[in-house]
Amino acid sequence: MSARLLIAGAFALGASAALADDGPIVTYPVEGAAFEDVAFLVENAIVNRGLVIDSVSHVGDMLNRTAADVGASVELYKAANVYLFCSATLSREMMEADIRNIGHCPYGVMVFETAAEPGVVQVGYRKYPDGAMQKVQGLLDEIAREAAEVD
């Protein structure tokens, strides 16, 4: 058994139900895990479905790096990334349903640890509108739950 799997199993007990279920963002907290370990699980959950991560947006690094430039004094994140990817099959289906669904691409799964709550890594995604895009939201929820090890 790999070290990453052992780590994942050790903090799986810390994962709980989704937060912000009534808002535009769904998150699953993972307590007691290192950010890097949870990020690795997100990457695997995406790639193991045959999807390619197009880019990783290092939002936390950017905000920390530019804080002084914009006059900010509050540290928001210890670490925060957004993994962007697409599915040719799902994207075609979504755009055949409504050509404007291109506005929802690429799809993203976020991983972050806030400065206010160190030791709790959140995995989440943005909710999509009713209709055809719910199939994409289901995929994002599967990926987030797998990475956070939530049933």
Q: pLDDT tens-digit profile of 54-95?
A: 999 999 999 999 999 999 999 999 999 999 999 999 999 999
Q: What pLDDT shows up at residue 21?
A: 56
Entry pTM? 0.85
**Spans in the chain with pLDDT lower than 50:** 1-18, 20
pLDDT at 41: 98
Q: Is the distance from CB of 79 to CB of 10 less than 8 angstroms?
A: no
According to the model, what pLDDT value does residue 151 have? 77
The span from the CA of 25 to the CA of 127, in Å, is 6
Instruction: Tell whether the torsion through CA atoms of 25, 7, 14 and 50 is positive or negative.
Output: positive
At position 115, the amino acid (one-letter code) is: A
Determine the Cα–Cα distance for residues 37 and 88; give it in Å rounded to an integer. 28
What is the reported pLDDT for 30?
97
